[in-house]
Structure 1
Amino acid sequence: MSANQGRFAPDRGLTARMLLTLFLLGLLYVGFMAALVVLLRSWIAVVLIAAGLLAAQYWFSDRIALFALHAHEVSAEEQPQLHGLVDRLCTMADLPKPRIAVAETDLPNAFATGRSADHAVLCVTTGLLRRLEADELEGVVAHELSHLAHRDVAVITVASFLGVLAGLLVRFAFYSQLLRGRRDPTSAALIGAVVGVSAGVYVISFLLIRSLSRYRELAADRSAAQLTGRPSALASALTKVSGEIARIPDKDLRTTQPFNAFLFTPADGKGGPGVMRLFSTHPSLERRLEELAKISSNLNQPVA
């Protein structure tokens, strides 16, 4: 085996899609700013607030996610097998080792976040650790490490800025004391224009980011299968986790659903039927298994 065969190979398809998405969002952003200049006089405050939120999300996304999901970092003494697995995969992939965390929840899942591979955290839940066999867990961890290697977590965070800005602007138009104090038709038309433009921008950016998110999940599956050489184990983990999530009460899923884009499998365990797939952060389970089956066929292996 050559020195590079065990590493995460550059994914040109993922890179191209990330660049295209950022380019399209950039064009949308320019148009959005132009509309704001025409419609509003106080838009600078909104931009500053949104930029502050973006900076906080970018620099502290790992801490925010751990806090929201009640996870805590664990040492090698506390989780020797998990640390050993991550050490081995990081060596194979030539990646710096992320911090390791565990979330005390029965929901079987995992995520990786952070602005770069050097400032990242990989988190698994106790429910995942209890349910998966060693080779299945290896596939899940490799999947999450792929996200870090390709820096798609950081790209998704930056790409989300426009949607955050548009959403804030809708609230600004509704709740700003300045605008609420005006009752004339001109002000009402201004509020309607701002809300309409902001809502349109939010929908377009939302769909672009969801499309990129679905592709990056397929790319991470592919990279993980190639790194471990066991796509069948990753397929087994996907099937098992999706089946177990379907049994988790809805009230226990609601706390994690806002973080669907970062999870190994969405908290509802589905990719969404029909047109709803456009709004999903993940491809359907069937699509992911099909792609893994293709890789398995190339490796002459059975897939779950």
Structure 2
Amino acid sequence: MASSRFIKDTGLTVRMTLTLFLLGALYVGLVVAVIAFVRSPGGAVAVALIAIGMAFWQWWSSDKVAMRAMRAREVTPEEAPELHGMIDRLCALADMPKPRVGVADLAVPNAFATGRSPERSVVCVTTGILQTLDSEELEAVLAHELSHVAHRDVLVMTVASSAGIAAGLLMRFAQFGGMGRSRNNNSSALPAVLVAVVVALVVYAVSFLSLRLLSRYRELSADRAGAYLTLKPAALATALQKISGEAAAIPTRDLRAASAASALCIVPALSGGLSGLMATHPPLERRLSQLARIQAELSRPAG
């Protein structure tokens, strides 16, 4: 976890570490399976290198990709003085570098943060959220997003995704016959490829579910960190309710545009189809319950 004044979250650190360890082990197992069952060291190395390269590119260009997906643009303090002022205050309070600031011209109220490091990050809000929330609610949302930056969530999630990328590549490689090119000369080649594909499917499924589990927890962690930083959990609770409640009135084209970076947003743009193990965000009720407990804790008389 990055050094900042956001509250320490041992649970998040442990979950990030365990997820990286588990997916790293699966990644190694996937490569070993290619070599052992398909007897194609070259194919295993190619899959590993391509997956690492794709994960590195996703991490390196994460801010540009997300901004482009959300049709966002960077804004200066002159263009958005109130927004910059809020982020300036929160960064000073959290003792962290100030990220770049972006605005997406979308009616859907939402916000996200991304970037390969705290020094190369961007926090973006939509015009919809600027029109929907009051200043306290918007500040609470920005604190949530800044906690993602401080905790280096983008780095961890990108590294963790490399096992799933490799598994997907392996399945495509096998599908197009790249590893089964010798099957006409070797009767065991086809079963070997099938074994490798089964291993790839297992790795992909475990990677997918592990990342979703980690993603849901990191959203709860960001809610906690933002609430304790601003000392206004009720403002974040109200903001989450407003953002979630506005979805029904938003044009479908805006929801689809925002869904391109939905996993990064404070509330998923299109949440109707994904729930339970498949969801990238925890249920709204669970988030509100956590914020209510924090509000009760902060309201308790000292001593």
TM-score by length of 2: 0.91
Which of 230, 235, 250 pairs up with 1:248? Answer: 250
Q: Given the superposition, is the C-alpha separation of residues 107 and 157 from structure 1 closer, same or farther in structure 2, using an over 3 Å criterion? A: same
Q: Distance in 2 between matches of 1:136 and 1:220?
A: 15
Residue number in structure 2 paired with 1:296 = 295
2:143–2:230: 8 Å Cα contact kept in structure 1? yes
Q: Provide the C-alpha distance between the structure 2 equivalents of 1:200 and 1:79, rounded to a whole number of angstroms.
A: 47
Alignment of 1:28-107 (within 5 A): 28-40=26-38, 41=40, 42-107=43-108
CA contact (8 A) 2:106 2:254 kept: no
CA contact (8 A) 1:245 1:269 kept: no
The 5-angstrom pairing of residues 212-291 of structure 1 reads 212-269=214-271, 272=274, 276-291=275-290
Range that drifts further, 184-193 or 221-230: 184-193
For 1:291 and 1:64, locate their aligned partners in 2 and report how far apart those are by CA, in whole Å: 32
The alpha carbon displacement at 1:179 in A equals: 3.3
Q: Aligned equivalents of 2:267 and 2:34: distance in 1?
A: 37
1:174–1:191 Cα contact (<8 Å) kept = no
Distance across 2 between alignment mates of 1:231 and 1:216: 17
- Once the two structures are superposed, residues 102-126 of structure 1 have per-residue CA deviations (whole angstroms, 9 ceiling, x without a partner) of 1111111111011211111111111
Q: CA deviation at 1:261?
A: 2.1
Post-superposition offset of 1:190: 3.0
User: Structure 2 CA distance, aligned partners of 1:287 and 1:50?
Assistant: 35
Q: Report which stretch shifted further, 79-88 or 167-176.
A: 167-176
C-alpha separation in 2, matches of 1:88 and 1:61: 25
User: What is the rounded CA distance, in whole Å, between the counterparts of 1:31 and 1:87 in structure 2?
Assistant: 46
How well do the aligned residues superpose, as a CA RMSD in angstroms? 2.0
Distance 1:91 1:143 in 2: 15
Give the distance between the partners of 1:106 and 1:100, measured in 2 at CA.
Answer: 18
User: Which residue of the partner structure matches residue 210 of structure 2?
Assistant: 208
C-alpha distance in 1 between matches for 2:179 and 2:155: 35
Q: Distance in 2 between matches of 1:81 and 1:140?
A: 14
Partner amino acid for 1:281?
A: T
Task: Check whether the contact 1:162–1:202 (CA below 8 A) recurs between aligned residues.
Answer: yes
Aligned to 1:8: 6
CA distance in 1, matches of 2:58, 2:136: 33
Deviation at 1:252, TM superposition (A): 3.5
Give deviations 1:158-214, integer Å, cap 9, x for gaps. Answer: 111111111111111112456368567534323322221111100001111111111
Runs of 5+ consecutive residues of structure 2 not aligned to the other structure: none
Q: Per-residue deviation at 1:249? A: 4.2
Distance in structure 1 (CA, Å) of the matches to 2:76 and 2:222: 26
> Identity over the aligned pairs, expressed in percent?
53
Specify whether residues 195 and 254 from structure 1 end up closer, same or farther in structure 2 by C-alpha distance, changes over 3 A only: farther
Q: CA distance change for structure 1 residues 75 and 191 in 2, over 3 Å: closer, same or farther? A: same
Deviation at 1:259, TM superposition (A): 2.5
Gaps of 5+ in 1: 1-5
Letter in 2 for 1:48: L
Distance 1:271 1:177, change over 3 A: closer
**Matching residue of 1:150:** 151
Bigger mean CA deviation after superposition, 71-80 or 171-180: 171-180
Structure 1 residue 69: Cα displacement: 1.7
State the one-letter code of the partner of 2:22: L
- 2:111 is matched with 110
Number of aligned residue pairs: give it: 293
Q: CA deviation at 1:227?
A: 0.7
Asked whether the equivalents of residues 167 and 198 of structure 1 are also in contact (C-alpha less than 8 Å), the reply is: yes
Could you tell me which amino acid in structure 2 is paired with residue 26 of structure 1?
A: G
Distance 2:176 2:253 in 1: 31
Mean CA deviation greater in 148-157 or 183-192: 183-192
Query: What residue identity is the alignment partner of 1:220?
Result: A
